[in-house]
Amino acid sequence: MTLLKRDPKAPLSWQGELPVTNRYTYGLAGEKFFRTLMDEGRILGTHCPKCDHTYVPAAVFCERCLGKLDDWVDVGTTGEVVTYTFLHVNLDGSPLEKPEIIAFVRFGDGGLIHHLGEIEPDQVEIGLMVEAVFKPKSERIGSILDIKHFKPV
């Protein structure tokens, strides 16, 4: 049993793309969370009384019990660095000129992923308290980027 032979002139590969373009709504929870972030510079969570868990960013459902959440809480703008990393590569895999400091900052029982700024790399540590630095109100558009970065308290 032999397989067919490839035409020696055959092109090795065929190039193409997967054209995917999307528009995402922020949804039931995102509407309120991001409008409050944009308009008031506040970070909101929602609390599940059954599971005693506070979701940040706010969600309309509890992922543990699938209960509906409507107990909205203000969790402040200062949180603790749970973990951080110095990212050395770009989105396309090419090296970054200067590593970016990315952290997970705890609020309630959740938190936010963001850049750390106004800090030297050797000052970053787990447990550090940091606060959100907002863009000027006029530049905010209702986005996670309305927060410029987090800086040490």
Residues numbered 80-139 forming contacts with other proteins, rule: CB under 8 A? 82-93, 95, 99-100, 102-104, 109-115, 126
> What DSSP state is assigned to residue 121?
G
Residues in the chain: 153
Q: Which of 40, 74, 129, 145 binds other proteins (CB under 8 A)?
A: 145
Please give the Cα distance from 94 to 106 (Å, whole number).
30
Q: What are phi and psi of 105, to 5 degrees?
A: -105, 125
The closest alpha carbon to 144, from 91, 105, 98, belongs to 105
Write out the binding residues for other proteins, residues 39-58 only, by CB under 8 A.
55-57
Q: Which is nearer to other proteins, 8 or 136 (CB)?
A: 8
The single residue among 11, 52, 122, 138 that binds other proteins, judged by CB under 8 A, is 11
Among 10, 70, 120, 122, binds other proteins (CB under 8 A): 10
Q: CB under 8 A: which stretch of 24-32, 71-79, 128-136 binds other proteins?
A: 24-32
- From 27-35, 70-78, 132-140, span contacting other proteins (CB under 8 A): 27-35
- Residue 116 CB partners (closer than 8 Å, separation 6+): 81, 84, 101, 102, 103, 124, 130, 149, 150, 151
